[in-house]
Structure 1
């Protein structure tokens, strides 16, 4: 029954999307169905608390962020911090796009989580062709790339030994010679038929999906960001992965945030002189207060959302609010999820330098339908599987705890996840909270071996610990201390039965419209 409900929900939502497509009569590649944004004074806007309104104001004012389709890529694009990819891999990037479709990408890899000990640099040259506006990820542009050459510059004899071991199966003897500073070893040459990339797990599939955003800031200042496709969290899948979400953005070398010490270091770098980032001041993980998204976040499998967390360190409790949208500007809400639970500290991560391990548990949840498609899907759900059967009302929050979650959405309660956190300061010395990246396949990190090794976009603190957020509110059906869970639902795995949606404690709900059968 859960599977049938998931199929019905997937079919309903997909038919709504196809109906929108039919209404658009155009053969142009760059036109996609886009519903009109609500007016500036629309009641569809989120009513955030005053302390956090400024952090999310740009989500309410689409005029401050613009995105052209197709995007203009020409120029230099640089990392603004040490990036962490699944694995983990620590790197910075410097990409240059030239007129005439040619590009050069420098990827600098490091041994440490602060990007201060370079190991090697990949020099990637190729061609890029923009194809069309994405019909899967709204606001994105699909592209195809053709690699011409890939070389590697090793920055120490130790790097030579380590990469020789990784490459010995695909290209025996390539790096067997004595290390020479500044030498470029050719790993790939399309014309010569050489390909030694398999041992590195290297892929430029990130170029398959692009989006350029321009932020219009006070006093006429601009900040331009280049979002490239996400990197699959499963190493074995990344080479063939077709991105539907984004990774951390690069910024234009001409229009970037100020001040930005990292920007200058990356821009002045080369394959022979990689940027050596200063080691940041170590910050103890302090979760207290309230944290919100700094941008409209995109997830793989067609999902846009904002996150809003409150942590109560004295009780080790937390509350999360996830608002989901149908558009990349986060102005067309579809549904909201509120979750409450507890967390336990682990310790410093032995896998990801600078990270801290935690365990989170969800014990209470509610859902609010914010558009007609979601409302119909929830009202059609099986009785006893998702709140009050047939009792869903647009804009009205409904507790789903007493039904053990919501089978139609793949939400099961109670639920546990193994997490990875870290804290940093941004360019304005504000605290940032990084939470673990969700598995690309939409599943939950509910086992130790699925604990994240990379991070989601950071959350910005908008209420300090000395300004305690209001305590969680609960419906008449349940409280965090009194649960009425039917035994069969408390232990069942709704996420295994319903491949449509999953509740992920700190990442929201992942929509998988194409996996239901």
Structure 2
């Protein structure tokens, strides 16, 4: 069926696969500990329940999600919101019912499927009087008057149905635009079994844009409730939850922020506006120096390289974050950037830039690294040197007690967090410690 074809050879088939990322020996990356084949069906098979762990969305918002899809294409989504970044103290839950229609393979985000959703009903269950008061200050008077005056904590109350407008939902920053972009990946370990993950569209980092945002990147994946990473005690808690019984997650092991060593991506990552990449960071706390290697690709399995960007500089650790517990404010200074074009078409593009604007004019070659420092960056790639970025970092231990590093989420609009007020309030996918 041509609706599931996209106009490039690698994805002309409705089925694509890859091997897990292969970092060299010594990296604590689970795909290395076993040979893993990754497949993705287009269109995706969604039937079943998919669950998250504790998530941080821009704002910040703290939540867990449990989404159930039926063969009829109807879905029921539970979103539990919390007052804390460990998801221990529930504030309110949303119960969302609707229908999903898969449209076609995405021509923008390769390997994804575009979809449309239709909401039938959204109900809210408030879990405390304090949460009720906080929500009342966010809702317009028509919502407060009609809904919250008589709301009893623990009882569902309708916020939206097909006969009502969406004013109350917009005031909460509620949107299901994430349903517009879908990808299901299945990991096939060599020892048998499988792990399935559902990637849904990204949430805009600017609160005022989120209800209109058409995603081109992904959030952190949901795990299939039957075929998930083991062990995952949180998966069972979220799976068994309901709107009246939100999951109360166990406090995660404390992990003092310690950056020393090399940290690498755990999967092929996406950024809005169709960037596929892996990250490889090294920190030297004694020198307060860092280096980040960003390998960019043209495909969602990170197997077709386009260019590599190597940035370096210094950093300063600031105060504990006022918005997210266990996170810390940082300032990164980028003083040098080197770029390697992986294919001739990228080199040709860079050679077309004006002299003095992006490395040595006319001297770009595939496979040859160029220093952008003499030209103070590269306008074509959006790089300006030197520059500062106001960042947010935290470390945690994963289910195998391996360290994870979370670095602040990049602004959806592609800008830089170059001022304190632009400091991120959410995180990119965690990186695993490779060596220390």
Could you state the TM-score of these two structures normalised by the residue count of structure 2?
A: 0.94
- The structure with the largest alpha-carbon Rg is 1
1:195-251, CA deviations, whole angstroms, 9 ceiling, x for partnerless residues? 521210110000000000001113212110000000000000000000000001101
Provide the C-alpha distance between the structure 2 equivalents of 1:186 and 1:269, rounded to a whole number of angstroms: 19
1:145-196, CA deviations, whole angstroms, 9 ceiling, x for partnerless residues? 0000000001112222221222233524134435534311100011355752
Counterpart residue number, 1:299:
271
1:9-32, CA deviations, whole angstroms, 9 ceiling, x for partnerless residues? xxxxxxxxxxxxxxxxxx711001
**What secondary structure sits across from 2:27 in the alignment?**
helix
Could you tell me whether the CA contact under 8 Å between 2:359 and 2:370 is conserved in 1? Answer: yes
1:385-417, CA deviations, whole angstroms, 9 ceiling, x for partnerless residues? 222211111111111111111222221110110
The answer to whether 1:362 aligns with 2:340 is: no
The answer to whether 1:337 aligns with 2:309 is: yes
The answer to whether 1:52 aligns with 2:12 is: no
The answer to whether 1:66 aligns with 2:39 is: yes
- Superposition RMSD on alpha carbons, in Å? 2.0
Provide the C-alpha distance between the structure 1 equivalents of 2:270 and 2:375, rounded to a whole number of angstroms: 30
TM alignment of 1:349-428, pairs within 5 A: 349-428=321-400
Runs of 4+ in 1 over 3 A off after TM superposition: 34-37, 45-50, 52-59, 175-179, 191-195
Tell me the CA shift for residue 381 of structure 1.
1.5
Q: 1:406 to 1:220 in 2, by over 3 A?
A: same
The answer to whether 1:28 aligns with 2:2 is: yes
Provide the C-alpha distance between the structure 2 equivalents of 1:259 and 1:161, rounded to a whole number of angstroms: 38
Gaps of 5+ in 1: 1-26, 38-44, 465-517
| Count of matched residue positions in the alignment of Structure 1 and Structure 2 | 428
Counterpart residue number, 2:17:
none
The answer to whether 1:86 aligns with 2:48 is: no
Q: Which range moved further: 308-317 or 210-219?
A: 210-219
Could you tell me whether the CA contact under 8 Å between 1:55 and 1:460 is conserved in 2? Answer: no
Q: 1:187 to 1:36 in 2, by over 3 A?
A: closer
TM alignment of 1:207-222, pairs within 5 A: 207-222=179-194
**What secondary structure sits across from 2:399 in the alignment?**
coil
Gaps of 5+ in 2: 12-19
Could you tell me whether the CA contact under 8 Å between 2:21 and 2:268 is conserved in 1? Answer: no
Counterpart residue number, 1:476:
none
1:46-92, CA deviations, whole angstroms, 9 ceiling, x for partnerless residues? 99543339667599x8x71100000000100001x210000000000
Provide the C-alpha distance between the structure 2 equivalents of 1:82 and 1:284, rounded to a whole number of angstroms: 19
Provide the C-alpha distance between the structure 1 equivalents of 2:9 and 2:256, rounded to a whole number of angstroms: 44
**What secondary structure sits across from 2:100 in the alignment?**
strand
The answer to whether 1:239 aligns with 2:214 is: no
Provide the C-alpha distance between the structure 1 equivalents of 2:127 and 2:121, rounded to a whole number of angstroms: 20
Could you tell me whether the CA contact under 8 Å between 1:160 and 1:175 is conserved in 2? Answer: no
TM alignment of 1:463-502, pairs within 5 A: 463-464=435-436
Tell me the CA shift for residue 109 of structure 1.
0.1
Could you tell me whether the CA contact under 8 Å between 1:189 and 1:195 is conserved in 2? Answer: no
Q: Which structure is higher in strand share?
A: 2
Q: 1:32 to 1:121 in 2, by over 3 A?
A: same
Provide the C-alpha distance between the structure 2 equivalents of 1:443 and 1:199, rounded to a whole number of angstroms: 26
Provide the C-alpha distance between the structure 2 equivalents of 1:113 and 1:53, rounded to a whole number of angstroms: 25
Provide the C-alpha distance between the structure 2 equivalents of 1:165 and 1:450, rounded to a whole number of angstroms: 25
1:239-277, CA deviations, whole angstroms, 9 ceiling, x for partnerless residues? 000000000110100100111110011011101100000
The answer to whether 1:75 aligns with 2:48 is: yes
Tell me the CA shift for residue 130 of structure 1.
0.3
